[in-house]
Each structure stands twice: as C-alpha cells, then as structure tokens.
C-alpha cells in the first residue's frame, strides 16, 4: 500500500508545506494553512493535450475569431464580453441565495431554445428540486439534460457520451476525484477537479460554467489558484434581501474586466435592468443636506449613484468613522483634506458615508462626490437635487481628471440633471451641451463655492 502522508496547503494560493506555518511564505497571508492527508497515486493515463507539440513561428499562426454563443441575456453577454466563448471555463461566485443557480438555469433555457445541448450537473440538489425551480422559472426545454452526480469519473464518462455544447457544474466544492483521498471541497480536490474540467472544456470544446461558494470575506472558497486556472471569473454582488443583483466580471481573458450587469430578482427569476442609474436613484430625497449624486464608471458603463453622508458631534473622546460601499481609508483621507485645506473641524465629529443601494464602488472619480456630501452635511446646506459631481481629489485639494468624462455627462443628461461639476482638465476636448451646464473646477474650494 502507498504510504499516506500529511501535507499542509494554503487556502489562498495553494502553497504546499510539510509542516503548519502561521504565515504563508508565498502570499504572506496569516492562518491560511489547512491539514490534508495525501495518498500518492501513479497516474499513467494520458491527458487530452498530452501529445507533443512543435513550436511555430508567430507569422505562421492563423488568427480566427473566438466563436461566441449568445445567451440572449444582454446583461450576462455584456459581462462575458459578447457571449460565451466555445471551450471557455467560467467561474461564478457569490453568497448563498444570491441567485447563481437561478441565473444559470435561465441561461440554460435560452441556450436550449437555440438548439444547444446543455448539461446541468448538480451536486447539491436532487432532480426534483431542480424541476421545482425550473417550473417556477417557466423552463421546459428538451435539450436541457439534468444530472445529480459528485463523482468526477462518472461525470467524465457521461460528458464524453453526450457531448454537450454547454456544461454547468453546481458546485465545484461538492465534486471529488476518487484518486484523491481528501474530502470534497478541500484544496486538493478543488484543484484537481478544476484541472480535469479545464481539460474537458479545452479538449472537447465544451463551454463550462463552475459555481463556487464564497467565504465570509467574499472571496471564492478554496485555493486562489482556482481563479488563475479559469478563463473568466464572475461575482454576484448585492444584498440578498434587496431586489437587485450585480454581476461583476473581475477576470476575463476574452473581454474587458470590471464590467457589470444589473439584474432584479422577481417571482419569475432574474430580470435585466436596462437603466441601472435610474434604479440606483429611486427614492432619493431632495433638498436634504449630506446627499449628492456622483457618476462611477463600471467597465464601459457609466452609472449614477447617490453618495450620502452624516456628520454629527461625537459624545466620546474617539469619533467614529464608518464607510459603507466605498473604501474606508479613502474616506478618512478625504476628511483630512477637508480639515487641512478648507479648515473644517471634523476631528470632533462622527462621520458616516454610504453609497445608497448597497453597491460597492472604489473608483477615484467618486472622491469629489464624497467631499461634497461631507461638506454639505457638516454645514447642513443641501445641494440642488439636479446637480451631479465627479472627479478625483488629491492630497493638496486639487481635482484631477478622470477617464470618459463625456460619457458620464451624457448619462447625467439622460436622467434630467442640469448642472455638472467636473475636473477642469476634462474640459479641453469636451463638447458643450445645451441642456446641462458644466462647471470645470481645479480644486475643492472652487467646487464648494459653486453649490453655496
């Protein structure tokens, strides 16, 4: 019998060690090592790409456009870069109950209607449970094959027998290989299962979607190498108690990264939101201090969001600083700019900053909006509801240029805004508009003087 040995794996990067370590020497993360028992197996089988390849000249390689399969869900196609690339491996992650399985099942409905053979493999639900969800979503497709299986060896045989166009694995943490002695969901199992699925997807030209659970920190459970192996990584964001969801692409070898798609959860499943800016501003109060509209750029899509701030005198020696939906350290930095450059005494005040709607934005173009919201709440002076501001703020109080400023203004113009405060550097190649008045500012002082 082969000797079973114990190896410690890092949950973040997959680094192996013969003993437990407090800090991973590869990714420098603390307390990420887990113990697993490994039984060495001699692998004599040949992989799908095991044949020898000869090097080719760059000039001799013929270019072919990546064939894509449209899902008929425009928001999903946008995030994928125009559709599903044949033979690609896509990882979909998100909190439990956020809508991962619902979206993929709806995608199966549209693909099956286009005469595409789809194989949905579930390791968490029975066939009857999937059938109940399919009836709720009004899905009845003859080309949709369902399978409840967790043994990857059996899955390989079924896939090679049926040869589907699209395959869905729900979820990767439930699948296991018999050659690996560790439990399903462990670092070894997740890595080996993903490697096998990658060989199937590339060797048989099967577009594969993998559902992955997330940890409490919001990252995909399992080793970080899982995200490196796949072609595309999609994250489902948003509060599951709210009605809308945001599908964000954080990695895409076949399209732009950080692209988002917006959906709304209803009784019949996820429905596309064609105008997310209007959704984010629904219910916004008017003539209230501490509220201002700013514009963020998610991929190629400008989106208007409401920045809220509440400044109040603290009752303790140490004032509180809270940021929801944006970077906490960035908010503290911008408050220091207001104290130093404008003389606002914020050291004795509690400060709360919130991006309404639950969306998370870390773009620097939101800096000026945060500055204006904090100043408005501190002075208790409302900013006109039809005013939009955006721009990056430096430590000296200067307002720096942002990219695609004209697209941001056009989006604000569509929603009826009549005043725009933006960096002066962006006005060089800017085409003036008759419906919205644009003010270019060089520093924070100029921006605040316009809204007084």
**Sequence ranges of the binding site for ATP:** 94-101
Strand pairing report for 232-237 and 244-252: antiparallel
- Residues 6 or more apart whose Cβ sits within 8 Å of residue 147: 119, 120, 121, 122, 155, 158
CA distance 75 to 271: 10
- H or E, element range at 16: strand 16-17
How far apart CA 353 and CA 378 sit, in angstroms, is 12
| Separation of alpha carbons 307 and 355, rounded Å | 5
Residues belonging to the binding site are 94-101
Q: How far is CA 309 from CA 67, 96, 222, in A?
A: 47, 30, 37
Tokens of 316: 């303790």
Q: Which residue has the tokens 């990584």?
A: 233
Alpha carbons 359 and 295: distance in angstroms, whole number:
13
CB 83 within 8 A of CB 69: yes
Look at residue 37 and give its three-state secondary structure: strand
Helix then strand then coil, in percent of the chain rounded to 5, is: 30, 30, 45
All residues at 6 or more sequence positions from 251 whose CB lies less than 8 Å from its CB, including other chains? 227, 230, 231, 232, 233, 257
Q: How many angstroms from the chain centroid is the CA of residue 316? A: 38
């Amino acid at each position: 019998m082969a000797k079973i040995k114990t190896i410690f794996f890092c949950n973040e990067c997959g680094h192996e060690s013969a003993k437990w370590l407090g800090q991973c020497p590869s990714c420098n993360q603390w307390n990420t090592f887990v113990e697993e028992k490994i039984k060495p197996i001699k692998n004599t089988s040949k992989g799908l790409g095991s044949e020898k390849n000869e090097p080719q000249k760059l000039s001799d390689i013929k270019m072919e456009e990546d064939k894509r399969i449209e899902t008929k869900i425009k928001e999903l196609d946008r995030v994928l870069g125009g559709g599903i690339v044949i033979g690609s491996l896509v990882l979909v992650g998100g909190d439990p109950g956020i809508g991962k399985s619902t979206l993929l099942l709806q995608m199966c409905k549209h693909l099956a209607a286009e005469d595409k053979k789809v194989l949905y493999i579930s390791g968490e639900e029975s066939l009857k449970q999937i059938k109940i969800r399919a009836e709720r979503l009004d899905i009845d497709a003859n080309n949709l094959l369902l399978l409840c299986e967790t043994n990857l060896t059996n899955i390989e045989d079924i896939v090679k027998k049926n040869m589907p166009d699209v395959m869905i694995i729900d979820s990767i943490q439930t699948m296991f290989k018999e050659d690996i002695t560790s439990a399903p969901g462990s670092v070894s199992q997740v890595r080996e299962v993903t490697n096998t699925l990658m060989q199937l997807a590339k060797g048989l030209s099967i577009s594969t979607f993998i559902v992955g659970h997330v940890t409490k920190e919001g990252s995909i459970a399992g080793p970080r190498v899982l995200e490196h192996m796949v072609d595309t990584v999609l994250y489902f964001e948003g509060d599951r108690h709210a009605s809308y969801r945001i599908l964000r692409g954080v990695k895409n070898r076949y399209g732009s990264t950080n692209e988002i798609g917006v959906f709304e959860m209803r009784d019949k499943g996820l429905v596309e939101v064609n105008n997310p800016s209007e959704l984010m501003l629904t219910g916004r109060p008017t003539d209230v201090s501490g509220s201002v509209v700013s514009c963020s750029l998610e991929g190629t899509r400008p989106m208007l969001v409401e920045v809220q701030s509440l400044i109040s005198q603290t009752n303790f020696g140490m004032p509180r600083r809270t940021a929801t939906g944006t970077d906490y350290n960035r908010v503290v930095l911008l408050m220091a700019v207001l104290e130093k450059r404008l003389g606002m005494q914020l050291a004795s005040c509690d400060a709360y900053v919130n991006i309404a709607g639950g969306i998370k934005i870390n773009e620097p173009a939101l800096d000026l909006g945060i500055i204006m919201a904090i100043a408005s709440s501190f002075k208790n002076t409302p900013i006109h509801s039809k005013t939009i501001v955006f721009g990056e703020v430096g430590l000296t109080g200067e307002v720096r240029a942002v990219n695609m400023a004209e697209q941001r203004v056009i989006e604000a113009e569509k929603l009826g805004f009549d005043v725009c405060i933006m960096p002066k550097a962006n006005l060089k190649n800017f085409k003036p508009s008759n419906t919205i008045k644009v003010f270019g500012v060089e520093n924070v002082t100029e921006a605040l003087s316009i809204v007084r």
